[in-house]
Amino acid sequence: MRFLNGSFYFDRRILGAALAFIAVVCGSLASPQAQQPATPTAQSAAPIHTPPYPTVAPPPAQRTGLNIVVLDPSHGGTDPGARGAQGIRESDLVLDLTFQVRRALEAQGFQVLQTRNGNENPSFDDRSTLANAQRGAVFVTLHISSTGLPGTVRVYALPDMPSRASAGGILSWDFAQASYVTLSRKFGDAVQGQLAQRFKGSPNNVQTASVRQLRTTAAPAIAVEISSVSVQDRSDLDKMMPGVGDSIARGLAAFRPSYVLPTEAGVQP
Amino acid sequence: MNGRWRTWLLASLCVVVVIAAIYFPKLKRKVKTSAEITQPSEEQARRELTTATPPNPADPRLKAKMFWASDEDESALSPIAVDLALSPDPVLRAKQVLNTLLAGPVNSDLRTLPPDAALLAFYVLPDGTGIADFSEAFATSTPSGIQSEELAVDSIARTLEANVSQIKRLKILIHGQEVETLAGHLDLTQLFIVNTKAAQPPTLSYGLPLKPASASAASVAPNSSKTAKSKEPKR
């Protein structure tokens, strides 16, 4: 009985090993032919496992540099943001603006992620999370104001923050921006400089304001705000959008060389 | 015997139901009228609390600097001197200047705070943190936008800086509560630095250990990186 039992298990193990061996052989025979038309460069490499969620593959050049731009169309969903006289809603306009900015950035070779693509309203933290999960990213939140001189654009970065943020090498979520404030202002100055040339009446330098969205973002982060929803016609704002996109792309290209990850400077472990 | 007892019970229950049917509407009316009486008195009490403190004739009349929107540039602030009898007490003084700021300038286009907003309370903590509690209208009536919200808060902070030297930092509450943003953009969970020169790290640990602008996080970061690097080879 014991012997029989033992031999039974032995047989099953043999059977399992044989099946596994056959599967491996079949797989190795089938996979090069199946993958050849799809990926001709990866002939001898192991099969590539693709995750079920979309990711941005790091480009080969400048691996530690600035590669990704996270664009944040503000508001959305139940939150329309600023509202103008003719049913103009900030949440709709910034989505159009995002597509224009995206086009200009992609033309410069940047990869772009968006915190929302439709009319939904992720939380401030959710929006920051998308940027914080990337390496080598900058964050731009896009707004249309209710006040100010129509036809001007302002760029905002955070004022100085408490240094508790990086105490003990741990970055506090609530003050995630603390180590990036200087870089954010540099980035903001580069973009504001471009905007000032194109949109007369805009300031020459980045402004500081405690914008909630920027505080929890662990990347160089700016807010860009166009004035304003109080225009007579929506087309006045639509006309500005390609120029704003181009200015952000040019500013970002100018800022790119000065982008050094704080992790490389040893702030984070 | 048993049947008789049951009828008695039913009869008494019926009587109770009838009495209740008569009494309950009366009781309801009573509760309603008493609520009506207390409501106006509560409102009155609140109004008494929020009304501007009457000026004390003994206080010296000073030129208080009010920061309203600038005539030339609506997005900038400019000081306007207003003749006020200011109290030496920082809490009363802050209430006086903020109520004047809320009342707005002669040219109402230049006001920075919504006309329906009210200051509900003002406190000063021993470490120089001022806590201003505004009515909900401050959040709901301020135009949504970074620029407009920043202008509103900045006008409060700069007016306090110019007139109440004891206040170094400012916390803004809406109807007694901490809110995430003023009108969708500006962060109200943080303390605003009012007096940039005098702002010292607070001694109390109820909130954030804010540092003055000169000792920013950015200037601290390189130092910590140096110490981290120098420690590494020793291991």
Beta-strand relationship, A221-226 and A153-157: antiparallel
Q: What is the pLDDT of residue A87?
A: 84
Residue type, A265: A
Minimal Cβ distance to B187: which of A143, A207, A211: A211
**Parallel, antiparallel or unpaired: strands A68-73 and A111-114:** parallel
Q: Identify residue B172 by its one-letter amino acid code.
A: I
For residue A81, give the nearest of B189, B145, B141 by alpha carbon: B145
- Check A211 against B211: CB less than 8 A apart: no
Q: Among A187, A231, A220, A203, which Cα is nearest to A93's?
A: A231
Going edge to edge, which strands form the sheet with B119-124?
A: B119-124, B129-134, B169-174, B192-193
In this prediction, residue A32 carries a pLDDT of 46
Lowest mean pLDDT among A44-58, A195-209, B133-147: A44-58
Q: How far is CA B173 from CA A212, B139, B185, in A?
A: 16, 10, 15
The model's pLDDT over B22-61, given as tens digits with 9 standing for 90+, comes to: 999 999 999 888 877 666 566 566 655 555 556 677 778 8
Residue B221 has pLDDT above 50, yes or no: no
Q: Tell me, what's the pLDDT at A48?
A: 58
For A148, nearest residue in chain B (alpha carbons): B75
Using CB atoms, pick whichever of B75, B211, B228 lies closest to residue A163.
B211
Q: Which residue in chain B is spatially nearest to A203 when comparing CA positions?
A: B75
Q: Do B209 and A162 touch (CB under 8 A)?
A: yes
Residues of A with CB below 8 A from B153's CB? 210
Within an 8 Å CB–CB cutoff, is residue A154 touching chain B? yes
Nearest to A69 by CA among A248, A230, A226: A248
Do A160 and B217 count as a contact with CB atoms less than 8 A apart? yes
> Which pLDDT score, from 0 to 100, does residue B3 have?
80
**DSSP three-state, residue B205:** coil
Residue B71 DSSP one-character state: S
- Which residue in B has a C-alpha nearest to residue A145's C-alpha? B145
- Chain A residues with CB under 8 Å of B218 CB are 160, 179, 181-182
Please give the pLDDT value at position A216: 94
Distance from CA of A81 to the nearest CA of B (A): 6
How far apart are the C-alpha atoms of B33 and B50, rounded to whole Å? Answer: 27
pLDDT band at B68 (very low <50, low <70, confident <90, very high): very high
Give residue B202's pLDDT.
42
Of B68, B125, B69, B134, the closest CA to residue B95 belongs to B134
The pLDDT score that the predictor gives to residue A106 is 94
For the residues of B134-174, what is the DSSP string, one character each? E-HHHHHHSPSSHHHHHHHHHHHHHHHHHH-TT--EEEEEE
Inter-chain Cβ pairs, chain A and chain B, closer than 8 A:
122
Residue B199 amino acid letter: A
CB of A265 within 8 Å of a chain B CB? The answer is yes
| Secondary structure class of B224 (helix, strand, coil) | helix
Distance CA B51, CA B95 (A): 10
Task: Specify whether the CB–CB gap between B188 and B115 falls below 8 A.
Answer: no
Cβ–Cβ contact A34 with B under 8 A: no
Q: Does A18 touch chain B (CB under 8 A)?
A: no
* CB pair distance less than 8 Å for B218 and A181: yes
Residues B213, A160: C-beta atoms closer than 8 Å: yes
User: A153 and chain B: CB distance < 8 Å anywhere?
Assistant: no
More confident residue, B206 or A57: A57
Let me know how long chain B is: 235
Q: Round the average pLDDT of chain B to a whole number and report it.
A: 80
Residue in B148, B150, B210 nearest the CB of A146: B148
- Partners of B177 in the beta sheet? B174
Q: Please tell me which residue, B205 or A26, carries the higher pLDDT value.
A: A26
Q: Annotate chain A with DSSP letters as a single string.
A: -HHHHHHHHHHHHHHHHHHHHHHHHHHHHHHHHHHTTT-SS-SSSPPPPPPSS---PPPSSSTTS--EEEEEE--BTTB--SB-TTS-BHHHHHHHHHHHHHHHHHHTT-EEEES-SSS----HHHHHHHHHTSSSEEEEEEEE-SSS-TT-EEEEE-----GGGGGGGPPPGGGTTGGGHHHHHHHHHHHHHHHHHHSTTS-SS-EE--BHHHHT--S-EEEEEES-TT-S-HHHHHHHHHHHHHHHHHHHHHHGGG---TTTTTS--
pLDDT, tens only, B146-204 = 999 999 999 999 999 999 999 999 999 999 999 999 999 999 998 998 876 655 444 33
ipTM of the complex: 0.73
- Flag whether residue A168 sits within 8 Å of chain B, measured between CB atoms: no
Looking at residue B47, its pLDDT comes to 58
Which residues from A are below 8 Å from B147, CB to CB?
145, 147-148, 154, 225, 227
Q: In terms of CA atoms, which chain B residue is nearest residue A79?
A: B184
Give the three-class secondary structure for B126. Answer: coil
Sign of torsion, CA A84 A87 A88 A92?
positive
